[in-house]
Amino acid sequence: MRDVTAVPLDTSRSAHEVQRDVYLRMGGAARVGVMFRLTDAVRRLAMAGIRARHPEYDEQRVRRAYARLVLGDALTRAVWPGQELVDP
Residue 33 lies in a domain: yes
Q: How far apart are alpha carbons 69 and 64 in whole angstroms?
A: 9
Question: Is residue 61 within 8 Å of 52, Cβ to Cβ?
Answer: no
Looking at every residue in the chain, the average pLDDT score rounds to: 92
Would 22 be classed as within a structural domain?
yes
Domain assignment present for 84: no
Q: What is the mean pLDDT of residues 3-26?
A: 85
Three-class secondary structure of residue 88 per DSSP: coil
The predicted model gives 23-52 an average pLDDT of 95
Domain that holds residue 39: 13-79
pLDDT of residue 7: 82
Q: Considering the domain boundaries, does residue 86 fall inside one?
A: no
- Do the domain assignments include residue 70? yes
In the chain, the number of structural domains is 1
What's the confidence (pLDDT) of residue 37? 97
- Let me know if residue 88 belongs to a domain: no
Answer whether residue 63 shows pLDDT above 60.
Answer: yes
Query: What's the pLDDT score for residue 6?
Result: 81
Residue 60 lies in a domain: yes
Query: Does some domain include residue 3?
Result: no
